[in-house]
Amino acid sequence: MEKKKNTIEQFNEHVMGSYGRYDLVLEKGEGRTAEDENGRQYIDFGSGIGTNSLGYCNEKWVEAVCAQAHSIQHTSNYYYTKVQAVFAKKLCEAAGYDKMFFGNSGAEANECAIKIARKYSFDKYGKDAERNIIVTLKNSFHGRTMGTLSATGQDVFHNYFFPFLPGFVNAKANDIADLKRVLDENKGRVCAVMFEFIQGEGGVIALEHEFVNAIFEECAKDDILTIADEVQTGVGRTGTLLTSEQYGVKPDITTLAKGLAGGVPIGVCLATEKCSGVLTPGTHGSTFGGNPLACAGGNAVLDTLLAEGFTDSIVQKGNFFRQKLNELPQVDHVSGLGLMIGVSLKEGDPHDVAKKCLENGLLILTAKEKLRFLPPLNISYEEIDKGLEILAGVLG
């Protein structure tokens, strides 16, 4: 009789090996704790790379998604649904944007932003102007589609899939002189500057306020659109709905995804009035964009996030988290804002540390040569303490 394959063997037999997965099968979760198929529990400091913003199976989120599933789970974008309209109004008003486009991921939201920027200049200046270059930052990450990979400013991602798309040039992050140099060298051909306020995959590195101000000042001189990739930093992750609020600026376009629907795939591209009418019928689309289940989850997330005092609690917990990390003798430097935290160690491989943490009941992430923490936004102080106690034990 043929031996029954376990979950990992069965998975690897049928799924492409494009991920470096841990040998862990997660079966269920509750609150901020995940449970594997053997019943072992894990404190989650990663929340599905910042996606399970309210943790596992939050009661209000579950009720909203289940109620929607009993109503209508999908319809094409030839038609309207009430849950889409409610969500769009709630998010646009809270974020202070005119209109939005629904997608399914951060990469899709960024693709939409790229298309808006190029069509904005095409419509206004004409095809002959060739005003289609988008400036992105070195060490950035914008997604894994061909367009967003081309926009990503990390050489490590520019392999195998040649040719990458033209029309993207990189400037050094936090280097105003280099930003001006790139804009001058491409004067009259740049349609947008695209950036993350905190480079997440790049190592949880925040842009300096002076540099961000320079982006907006330089773009204003030549009608260049500003695109903020807030796929990882948005939806309260850093202590405000949008991280742009903490920098005192208003990008023409902002993209959101990850934690926006609490674990259901969603991506959103927000636009100000200046460019909210660029995408006319037939110029862009997405079969699953604005899926009713995702919008129902999004409404539950926004209702929680926008409740009085909730974002303040993110700031307070983030400060507590960083303070505790700084007290660990093995920690060299702590970066980030709110509950988006990066940690440089004095010695040791962060990937080995992450693996050992898993073995001891703690799920954490890495980014470049750092540990990365993106816990659920409603994590408790007790859970932070418990998780950091595990980390301290692993670090020795």
Mean pLDDT, rounded, of the chain: 97
What residue type is assigned to position 165 of the chain?
Answer: L
Give how far the C-alpha of residue 256 lies from the chain's centroid of Cα atoms, to the nearest Å. Answer: 7
What residue type is assigned to position 386 of the chain?
Answer: K
For the segment 41-85, what is each residue's pLDDT rounded down to a tens digit? 999 999 999 999 999 999 999 999 999 999 999 999 999 999 999
What burial letters (b/e) apply to 20-55, b meaning 16+ CB within 10 Å? eeeeeeeeebebbbbeeeeeeebbbbbbbebbbbbb
**Structural tokens at position 62:** 């579950």
Q: How many CB atoms are located within 10 Å of the residue 178 CB?
A: 15
What residue type is assigned to position 64 of the chain?
Answer: A
What residues pair up with 334 in beta bridges, in sequence order? 343
For the segment 163-183, what is each residue's pLDDT rounded down to a tens digit? 999 999 999 999 999 999 999
Q: Which H or E run contains 23?
A: none
Q: Where in the chain is the domain with CATH 3.40.640.10?
A: 72-305
For the segment 6-23, what is each residue's pLDDT rounded down to a tens digit? 999 999 999 999 999 999
Q: Where in the chain is the domain with CATH 3.90.1150.10?
A: 7-56+310-395
Indicate the CATH number for domain 72-305.
Answer: 3.40.640.10
For the segment 189-243, what is each residue's pLDDT rounded down to a tens digit? 999 999 999 999 999 999 999 999 999 999 999 999 999 999 999 999 999 999 9
For the segment 294-328, what is each residue's pLDDT rounded down to a tens digit? 999 999 999 999 999 999 999 999 999 999 999 99
Tell me what the mean pLDDT of segment 103-113 comes to: 98
Q: 229 an active-site residue?
A: yes
Asked if the bond preceding 281 is cis, omega within 30° of 0, the reply is no
**pLDDT at residue 5, rounded to an integer:** 78
**pLDDT at residue 54, rounded to an integer:** 98
For the segment 131-153, what is each residue's pLDDT rounded down to a tens digit? 999 999 999 999 999 999 999 99
pLDDT of 117 strictly over 80:
yes
**pLDDT at residue 39, rounded to an integer:** 97
**CATH class of the domain comprising 7-56+310-395:** alpha beta
Residue 291: pLDDT band (50, 70, 90) is: very high
**pLDDT at residue 38, rounded to an integer:** 95
Nearest 5°: the CA angle 73, 76, 82 is 60
**pTM (global) more than 0.95:** yes
Residue 3: pLDDT band (50, 70, 90) is: low
* Residues 348 and 370: beta-carbon distance below 8 Å: no
Q: 123 an active-site residue?
A: no
Taking alpha carbons only, the member of 274, 277, 259 closest to residue 226 is: 274
Which residue in the list 87, 102, 141, 211 is annotated as catalytic? Answer: 141
The tokens 């037939």 sit on which residue?
Answer: 282
**DSSP line for 33-68:** EEEETTS-EEEESSHHHHT-TT-BS-HHHHHHHHHH
**pLDDT at residue 1, rounded to an integer:** 46
CA distances from 236 to 11, 260, 275, 312 (A): 34, 9, 25, 10
For the segment 247-275, what is each residue's pLDDT rounded down to a tens digit? 999 999 999 999 999 999 999 999 999 99
Give how far the C-alpha of residue 229 lies from the chain's centroid of Cα atoms, to the nearest Å. Answer: 8
**pLDDT at residue 152, rounded to an integer:** 98
Taking alpha carbons only, the member of 158, 225, 231 closest to residue 199 is: 231
**DSSP line for 351-375:** HHHHHHHHHTTEE-EEETTEEEE--
Taking alpha carbons only, the member of 203, 200, 262, 198 closest to residue 235 is: 262
Which residue in the list 258, 317, 324, 368 is annotated as catalytic? Answer: 258
What residues pair up with 198 in beta bridges, in sequence order? 206
- How are strands ordered across the β-sheet holding 253-256? 99-103, 267-271, 253-256, 225-229, 190-195, 133-137, 168-171
Tell me what the mean pLDDT of segment 379-393 comes to: 98
Q: 258 an active-site residue?
A: yes
**pLDDT at residue 65, rounded to an integer:** 98
DSSP E strands, 215-345: 225-229, 253-256, 267-271, 331-337, 340-345
| % of the chain beyond a pLDDT of 70 | 99
**Structural tokens at position 100:** 């939005």
**pLDDT at residue 2, rounded to an integer:** 56
Alpha-carbon span 242 to 238, nearest angstrom: 8
Secondary structure of residue 344 in the 3-state scheme = strand
Which residue in the list 101, 157, 229, 368 is annotated as catalytic? Answer: 229
